Amino acid sequence: MEKFDIPYFAGNTASRDLIVGVGSRIRDYFDIQSYDKTIQRFAQADSISMNLQLSIIEGVFTARHALAPSTSPSSNGEGSPEYLSVSNDPPLNYLAIAEQIADDILKAGIYGKDKSVTWLSIDIIPGTGQYQYQPVGPSLYAGQIGIGLFFAALSITSDNKNYKNTALNSVASLLKLLTAKNVDAANVIARDLGIGGCVGLGSLIYGLSVLSRLLNIPAMLEDAIHFRDYRYRSF
């Protein structure tokens, strides 16, 4: 590789051959043509898979045309910010609204065989003003910890047991990393996140601490302490 001797492989959608180098090929290397394989996968796709593919396409186009947030407060035309205006509308059922949001989040989840769950989301690329459609990270502000806290809080006020399970499953991959004592991976997360309280390592420590209290799982507090230790090792 250092001498730029880079292997070259190619294929053709209408052929089972593997093209190696220039003018050479291995006949019938693949079991099926890639075009036929694609048609086969479309035919085997269930509604969950199709909805996921559609959401990815919609998310990519939405991220493409999203605008960076404005730092100036919006106005209702009368000199006062909209969020300070008084409404005469009847009071809202906030719990019902929260449950509707939760149901929408559940439908958008990507579920693993180990019952873990994650999501795809639009997030801004730091320093660019551009958005990208990508898997959520672990943070409190826009990631697994924040979603987990939402479901944990909702599980206390709702009879839906699925909310508590989702709170646990949303942080399952993060906890698995800690229980496996994968120090290198945890240190990488610590360095990448930084020490911020919303999107940094501090948000993980805070989130796990609150999750421990809301779900009555003392072990999560120990996990938060472990992340605190990674913080001191990484900075």
Distance CA 180, CA 58 (A): 36
Taking alpha carbons only, the member of 42, 66, 44, 65 closest to residue 54 is 42
Taking alpha carbons only, the member of 215, 216, 192, 96 closest to residue 204 is 192
What confidence tier does 180 reach under pLDDT thresholds 50, 70, 90?
A: low
Query: CA triplet 181, 184, 188: central angle to 5 degrees?
Result: 120
**pTM, two decimal places:** 0.69
Distance CA 70, CA 75 (A): 12
pLDDT tens track for 5-49: 778 888 889 999 998 877 788 999 999 999 999 999 888 888 878
- Which two tokens mark 53? 């593919």
Q: What pLDDT score does 56 carry?
A: 87
